[in-house]
Amino acid sequence: MENTLLSVNATPFAYPFDLQKTALVIIDMQRDFVEPGGFGETLGNDVSLLTAIVPTCKEVLTSWRAAGGQVIHTREAHLPDLSDCPPAKRNRGNPTLRIGDEGPMGRILVAGEPGNQIIDELMPLDSEIVIDKPGKGMFYGTGLHEMLQELDITHLIFMGVTTEVCVQTSMREANDRGYDSLLLTDCTESYLPEFKASTIAMIHAQGAIVGWTAPSAQLLAVLE
């Protein structure tokens, strides 16, 4: 591609990026979080809120792949022996089903289990990076920063779930490591809509203190 310099009409101001130095990051679009009958629903959440963003995420992913951009998928996942899962994380809130317990789609948040897999609509290609992360943020305990440095990636465009937890944590981690990040507002969602709205406001406040935000149509327009 002769010209890979692009600019998205974003908040609080334009988000410029070089396609060859930018990765699309898809956070935790796992069956257990998104699909009916999964772990998220067993906790009393309305997963239809999350399912609703899947067609838009798929549209962005398809366009991004066609443009030749790098793609990164993450899954919140633990080792089968739970040695990377602190007891405080497993026990907090005294849930009926805990991490590692047998759930509707296999052991909950354990790598390799059916519920831990990315949904079919956004299934990674063999050429794309897939990160199993033991924490909320995508950099903790994963070596992702070093991978991105080797690829000369400087900018990250985010979508996925949930907005206020794993997406925001990953964006804040990225900010601390010097990446410029954009969140696609209609490609992210929360079980609690008011949390999504607050998170978006926090991200682009004070001159993009954490990052930029924009609807996916603004990105699709420049990719086309």
- 169-216 pLDDT, tens per residue? 999 999 999 999 999 999 999 999 999 999 999 999 999 999 999 999
Please give the structure tokens belonging to residue 81: 């022996």
Q: Is 196 a catalytic residue?
A: no
Q: Is 187 a catalytic residue?
A: no
CA distance 187 to 102: 30
Q: Is pTM, for the whole model, over 0.85?
A: yes
Q: Is the dihedral of CA 152, 220, 55, 157 positive or negative?
A: positive
- 3-50 pLDDT, tens per residue? 689 999 999 999 999 999 999 999 999 999 999 988 888 888 999 999
Do 27 and 74 form a contact (C-beta atoms < 8 A)?
A: yes
Q: How many residues does the chain have?
A: 224
Do 212 and 179 form a contact (C-beta atoms < 8 A)?
A: no
Q: Tell me which of 166, 180, 187, 196 is the catalytic residue.
A: 166
Q: Is 57 a catalytic residue?
A: no
Tell me what percent of the chain is helix, strand and coil, each rounded to the nearest 5.
40, 25, 35
Residue 152 DSSP one-character state: T
Please give the structure tokens belonging to residue 74: 């993450």
- Show Cβ contacts of residue 224 under 8 Å, excluding neighbours closer than 6 positions: 63
Phi, psi of 42 (to 5 degrees): -65, -20
CA distance 210 to 181: 8
Select from 65, 56, 75 the least CA-distant residue to 187. 56
CA atoms within 13 A on the CB side of 224: 8
Q: What is the pLDDT of residue 92?
A: 84
Provide the residue type at 123 as one letter. Answer: M
CA distance 168 to 173: 9
Confidence tier at 2 by pLDDT (50, 70, 90): low
Q: Tell me which of 57, 85, 133, 196 is the catalytic residue.
A: 133
